Amino acid sequence: MQNTNENFSFKKYAWAQFKKNKIALVSLYLLFALIFIALFAPYIANDRPLYAKYEGNILYPAFASETRTDSIYNAKGDFVQVLQYDITDWRQLNLTSVVWAPIPYSAGSMDRYNRDYAAPSGEQRFKNSEGEIIDIPSKFRHKLGTDGIGRDLASGLIHGTRISLMVGLVSMGIASLIGIILGALAGFFGDTKLKMPRIKYHFTLFGIFMGLFYGFGQRKYVLSQAFSEGIGDGMIAMLISVGVVIGITMLFRLLSKAIQVEWLNKEVSVPMDTFVSRGIELLNSIPRLLLIITITAVVERSIWIVMIIIGITGWTGIARFTRAEFLRIRSLEFVQAAESLGYSSIRTIFKHALPNSLAPVFVSIAFGIASAILIESGLSFLGIGVPDDIVTWGSLLNLGRQNLEAWWLIIYPGMAIFITITIYNMIAEASRDALDPKLKS
């Protein structure tokens, strides 16, 4: 019925199929909600107010930079005090009017009146602007409780959302880049289709070797210098290195044209598929969690490094799907048409074949995000790899495990991890069904 429609497009069809799955649709909305929370985390949970009127001055502390320092004068022009935004306890100022963030606590800030695991519904203390210790007003109640050093759990969860989504995004970004490129090359060329003169083949291999030598061996000290100055500088230096590798490889390929000997110019095929498939097999045969744990044990503790490691160990699934899709697609008419028009392989792969093969890959990326989040929270749960001062869902759950009385530190972070993973899995499964009705089970 839909096929008769002139405006029929596969995207619309898939979206219609996806919408039929109500649970998946709810999951998608929940994902948008999570993204919203992650983007606006500093305004949802912050111990600086969103808006405050102090001695006649109107301030927007939550929107200002943390280290901002203001000298406050009252209406008569007399100096009152110096406010340094991040260390001021705004709750104890005598504010004439104020709008607090929905959760008036930051993720790392410690409430010293509610240390030692204040239960959500238990007794909580508060120091008011007169300096008296009273029962907590409902606005400042830690609605999900606190941990051993008085950090608010709700705020920790909100900021943990950021970390979780970022882990999924960054690590799967890296994994997709590697996986799609390798999978596409393996699937498109197979073992026989990439042909080049023998001399060019060997020159390319040699060029890659030389490229690695100049790009990474020679630049070793430049790279480590750049990374010690900051992750941004490091990335730029890394890009230059990659550029050097590509450039030198290209140079050697060009050079090979100069040599004209008949035997050397005989066409040989490059076993692209074998290279990639063996690589996938090798990486799959290593217990991934253990590999990640082992690597994080010998490198510096940093959330970025964890993300990168998860990414470079997680591309095999994506590569397998891309490869399978390319194997199917390369014999279709439009790819053959592109080839017979004389387009270069690169153009055919990336401009024509790739856009038509991304759908199943997308499913595998969505599953991959779920497993990346799972691995990161597992690592934080063990306290490995992720620095101690970063509040993540896994590290909160770990605090709960060490103190079973604080049930809120187990239930809430655990549910947050569980719900996020379920959302991604649901979306992945529903889009698989929508994109390929044959697979529907």
Using rule CB under 8 A, residue 229 touches other proteins? no
Task: Judge residue 87's burial from the number of C-beta atoms within 10 Å of its C-beta, 0-12 exposed, 13-18 middle, 19 or more buried.
Answer: exposed
**Residue 295 Cβ, how far from other proteins at the closest point, in Å?**
6
List the one residue from 289, 305, 324, 358 that touches other proteins (CB under 8 A).
Answer: 289
Using rule CB under 8 A, residue 290 touches other proteins? yes
- Tell me the C-alpha distance between 419 and 426, whole Å: 10
Contacts 24+ apart (CB under 8 A), 303-306: 303/163, 303/167, 303/386, 303/387, 303/390, 304/170, 304/231, 305/385, 306/167, 306/376, 306/379, 306/385, 306/386
**Residue 10 Cβ, how far from other proteins at the closest point, in Å?**
24
**Residue 378 Cβ, how far from other proteins at the closest point, in Å?**
6
**Residue 173 Cβ, how far from other proteins at the closest point, in Å?**
22
> Which CB, 100 or 321, lies closer to other proteins?
321
- Tell me the C-alpha distance between 386 and 166, whole Å: 14
> Which CB, 108 or 279, lies closer to other proteins?
279
Q: Could you tell me if 52 and 33 are in contact, meaning their C-beta atoms sit under 8 angstroms apart?
A: no
**Any residues with CB less than 8 A from the CB of 309 and at least 6 apart, and which?**
292, 295, 296, 385
> Which CB, 333 or 405, lies closer to other proteins?
405
Q: Could you tell me if 195 and 267 are in contact, meaning their C-beta atoms sit under 8 angstroms apart?
A: yes
Using rule CB under 8 A, residue 165 touches other proteins? no
> Which CB, 238 or 358, lies closer to other proteins?
238
- Tell me the C-alpha distance between 283 and 416, whole Å: 30
**Residue 164 Cβ, how far from other proteins at the closest point, in Å?**
12
Using rule CB under 8 A, residue 228 touches other proteins? no
Q: Could you tell me if 304 and 163 are in contact, meaning their C-beta atoms sit under 8 angstroms apart?
A: no
Report the residue count for the chain. Answer: 441
**Residue 210 Cβ, how far from other proteins at the closest point, in Å?**
7
For residue 53, list its beta bridge partners: 58, 97
The one-letter amino acid at 119: A
Using rule CB under 8 A, residue 312 touches other proteins? no
List the one residue from 171, 364, 377, 392 that touches other proteins (CB under 8 A).
Answer: 377
List the one residue from 374, 427, 434, 435 that touches other proteins (CB under 8 A).
Answer: 374
List the one residue from 18, 73, 213, 350 that touches other proteins (CB under 8 A).
Answer: 213
In eight-state DSSP terms, residue 7 is T
Q: Could you tell me if 393 and 160 are in contact, meaning their C-beta atoms sit under 8 angstroms apart?
A: yes
**Residue 221 Cβ, how far from other proteins at the closest point, in Å?**
6
**Residue 308 Cβ, how far from other proteins at the closest point, in Å?**
15
Using rule CB under 8 A, residue 214 touches other proteins? yes
Contacts 24+ apart (CB under 8 A), 51-58: 51/97, 51/98, 51/99, 52/90, 52/93, 52/95, 52/97, 52/98, 52/99, 53/95, 53/96, 53/97, 53/98, 54/83, 54/93, 54/94, 54/95, 54/96, 55/80, 55/96, 56/96
- Beta strands of 149-218 (E only): which ranges? 195-197
Three-class SS of residue 350? helix
Alpha carbon separation from 353 to 8, 76, 318, 334, 358 (Å, rounded): 20, 72, 16, 8, 9
Using rule CB under 8 A, residue 384 touches other proteins? yes
In angstroms, how far is the first alpha carbon of the chain from the final one? 23
List the one residue from 382, 387, 390, 436 that touches other proteins (CB under 8 A).
Answer: 382
Please identify, among the stretches 58-66, 76-84, 94-102, 207-215, the one whose residues bind other proteins according to the rule CB under 8 A.
207-215
**Residue 288 Cβ, how far from other proteins at the closest point, in Å?**
6
List the one residue from 6, 76, 221, 355 that touches other proteins (CB under 8 A).
Answer: 221
> Which CB, 54 or 412, lies closer to other proteins?
412
> Which CB, 255 or 382, lies closer to other proteins?
382
> Which CB, 266 or 278, lies closer to other proteins?
278
The one-letter amino acid at 123: E
- Tell me the C-alpha distance between 273 and 253, whole Å: 21
User: 396-425 mask for other proteins (x: CB under 8 A)?
Assistant: -x--xx--xx-x--xx--x--xx--xx--x
**Residue 420 Cβ, how far from other proteins at the closest point, in Å?**
9
> Which CB, 229 or 281, lies closer to other proteins?
281
**Residue 297 Cβ, how far from other proteins at the closest point, in Å?**
5
For other proteins, the binding residues (CB under 8 A) are 209-210, 213-214, 217-218, 220-221, 281-282, 285-291, 293-295, 297-298, 370, 374, 377-378, 381-382, 384, 394, 397, 400-401, 404-405, 407, 410-411, 414, 417-418, 421-422, 425-426, 429, 441
